[in-house]
Structure 1
Amino acid sequence: MSRTVFLKSSFAVFILMVSCQKQNSTIPYYNTPEFTPHFLSKKQAVTEISHTIAPFSFTDQDQKMITEKTVDHKIHIASFIFTSCGSICPVMIKNLEIVNKKYGKDPYVMLLSYSVTPWIDTPQKLKDFKTANKIKNPNWHFLTGKKSEIYTLARKSYFAEEDLGFTSDSTKFLHTEHIILADQNKKIRGIYNGTLQTDIEQLVEDIAVLKKE
């Protein structure tokens, strides 16, 4: 093979590789609670990623009903907290402020913080909690509702406790530092440790990528 033909062939392979990289997202999809990453194109994800966040309906701090329709065609970030938590929750809220600072005025990025003690965290308590933390973002909702429904959504839809949580029942207390990123089609695209600032900084970067998809 001549040098010219070899170079042309090599260039063709390079272009093909670049093309494939452009087609597949740099942000993986997750389809199971084991969080095995799948790097796919949006077209591939339609048929290969079956898991999406299930329908839900909960009340926020302003007594407004928030459902899966609220996040239609929007990126949303799910966290699981409770207002009387004195351990990981304050750190998570503080770190999520990094997301809030970047996307607080973006109507296509929503934060959903589900209370894991909904029998205590009434809408008024959640409103006071949001006020105490000086959170003014109208797209950051603190949610309460039936315990069984929140726990099922957390474990079965968001895989909030990964494979361990997926097999837990609603009698076991849900307490996790995991923060979940879901895309505009309610497919899971990331899991982050909410107590680590570096993880949240990565979350901010991943949101920027999803916004361009």
Structure 2
Amino acid sequence: MLKNKSYIGISFIILIFGIYAIPKIVERIQDNDIVKGDRLDQVGGTTRRDDKLVKIGPAPNFELVNQDNIKVSNETYKGKVYVLEFFFTTCPSICPKMNLSMLDIEKSFFGNPKFGLVSITIDPSHDTPEVLKSHAKLLGVKSSNWNFLTGDREYIYNLANKGFNLYVGENNKIKGGFEHSGLFALIDKNGNIRCRKDNFGNPILYYDGLDKKGVRDIQQDINILLKE
């Protein structure tokens, strides 16, 4: 009799466990989450969804002139999240793709006073404020928080190469005469360079402005920073 009661008790416990646990297991399988956990996330090198964006350090200070011949500096963007790139208007290769990516980002956050964009030319002898204004008009730029900047060549090259560690240089052997990366820098409201981690938990530093995934990633991370 006691044995029968024990079996009934055990069976009841198993039944309750099944009612509670099985739907959870099914849900995790559907979400592809069944093998994820703290240890496995570290071993497998996957980025945890609750990881905060990495703070790389303060973005370098800058002061240049925009397409309206007005001085613009990092202080102009204080309290704003912004994306910064280096480009030039006559670029025959990657710049048009970067411009399209920046336009996509502009469209996603258009009208938000806490967001802005910065495009700094690496060909300042050609890209005067007047040229930059025409270029912005040609692109169809609408945001008043998107500044196209020009200034002293040596100052700009030091800002890119030593300040942001984003390579720019002259090369007469390639079409267009200049070379640079297609990367975007993401800066938070406090002037810090921020980024997400890669699949191995390492900071990516900058975002690929030539890749749809890179643009999608930076848009997601802009949203995160705007809420901070």
Q: TM above 0.5, one fold? A: yes
TM-score normalised to structure 1 length: 0.72
**3-state DSSP class of the match of 2:125?**
coil
Q: One-letter code of the match for 2:90?
A: S
**3-state DSSP class of the match of 1:77?**
strand
1:83-102 matches, within 5 Å, as 83-102=89-108
Residue 176 (str. 1) matches residue 191 (str. 2): no
The alignment yields a C-alpha RMSD, in angstroms, of: 2.2
Contact 2:166 2:180 in 1 (8 A): no
For structure 2, list consecutive stretches of 5 or more residues without a partner in the other structure. Answer: 1-37, 39-47, 172-177, 196-205
The number of equivalent residue pairs is 166
Superposition misfits of 4+ residues, deviation over 3 angstroms = 170-174
TM-score normalised to structure 2 length: 0.67
Deviation string, structure 1 residues 73-120 (Cα, Å, up to 9, x no partner): 111111111000010000001011221111121111110000010111
For structure 1, list consecutive stretches of 5 or more residues without a partner in the other structure. Answer: 1-13, 15-20, 31-50
Which of 154, 157, 162 pairs up with 2:163? 157
1:27-46 matches, within 5 Å, as 27-30=53-56
- C-alpha displacement of 1:128: 0.5
Q: Rg larger in 1 or in 2? A: 2
Contact 1:79 1:178 in 2 (8 A): yes
Which of 51, 72, 85 pairs up with 2:78? 72
Which of 107, 112, 121 pairs up with 2:118? 112
**3-state DSSP class of the match of 2:52?**
coil
Q: One-letter code of the match for 2:128?
A: T
Task: Tell me, in whole angstroms, the C-alpha distance in 2 between the residues paired with 1:209 and 1:145.
Answer: 32
